[in-house]
Amino acid sequence: MAGPLALGLIAGLATLTFAMRATGPLMPHMPAALTERTAGLAPALIAALVAIQLTAASGVLRLDVKALAVLVAAVLSFLRVPLILCVVAGAAIAALVRALAHV
């Protein structure tokens, strides 16, 4: 389980990302300075969530089914596959490996 600081940071990033997405239709012409500074919020949020899921409470990296799923999603992302397909492929790989391991 992540510590309170990590969870607070993730909640803050998620709230800021949601607020930015929600104001998009209301402000079609956002200032360039604002969009440049906040362009990395969504990737940072995903990276934080992945980091928390792949580490144990002691901070040690856990190599399990999730690590393989993240690796598949990362490779697909590197190949410029749309994000939703990367997420679905990672989830499918995790489900497949879990199903095969419990047979």
Radius of gyration of the chain (CA): 17
88 has pLDDT over 70: yes
Q: 67 and 45, same structural domain?
A: no
The domain boundary, picked from 40, 56, 72, lies at 56
Q: 72 and 51, same structural domain?
A: no
Model pLDDT, residue 2:
61
Q: 52 and 67, same structural domain?
A: no
Instruction: Give the pLDDT confidence of 37-57 residue by residue, as tens digits.
Output: 777 777 777 777 777 778 777
Tokens of 94: 């995790």
Rounded to 10 degrees, the C-alpha dihedral 48/36/17/92 comes to: -50
User: How many domains, in total, are found in the chain?
Assistant: 2
Mean pLDDT of the chain: 81
97 vs 102: CA distance, rounded Å: 9
Q: 50 and 23, same structural domain?
A: yes
Q: Which residue's structure tokens are 């969870």?
A: 7
Q: 52 and 69, same structural domain?
A: no
Q: 69 and 51, same structural domain?
A: no
Q: Please list the alpha-helical segments (H only) found in 1-103.
A: 4-23, 32-38, 41-54, 65-78, 83-101
